[in-house]
Amino acid sequence: MDKDVLKKRLMASCEAHLDEAIAAVEKAPDGQWIAASEWLVREAFQDLMRESYQELVQARVNATPSAKQAVFSPSGRRGPTIQR
């Protein structure tokens, strides 16, 4: 796993989601800053967390030759259990 490449991809994703959160607060009308932006900000960071975790786990799978033979889906579909 090339940690530097992975870090750059994750940082780019983080910046994009941060921009999305900032835009949500900036676009919220006066008097409704929280009501109009809270869930949009929460959604942006939840997407970041999910995408980051999937990226990290996928990088680990790609770096582990034996894991490529196992059935695995970071999106939640279950396949055979991988024994440790």
User: How do residues 26-53 score in pLDDT, each as one tens digit?
Assistant: 999 999 999 999 999 999 999 999 999 9
What are the structural domain ranges in the chain? Answer: 3-63
Q: What is the pLDDT of residue 18?
A: 98
Share of the chain above pLDDT 70, in %: 79
Neighbouring C-beta atoms of residue 75, cutoff 10 Å:
6
**Would the pTM of this model clear 0.75, i.e. be above it?**
no
Q: How far apart are CA 24 and CA 37, in angstroms?
A: 5
Q: Considering only CA atoms, which of 6, 23, 17 is closest in space to residue 49?
A: 17
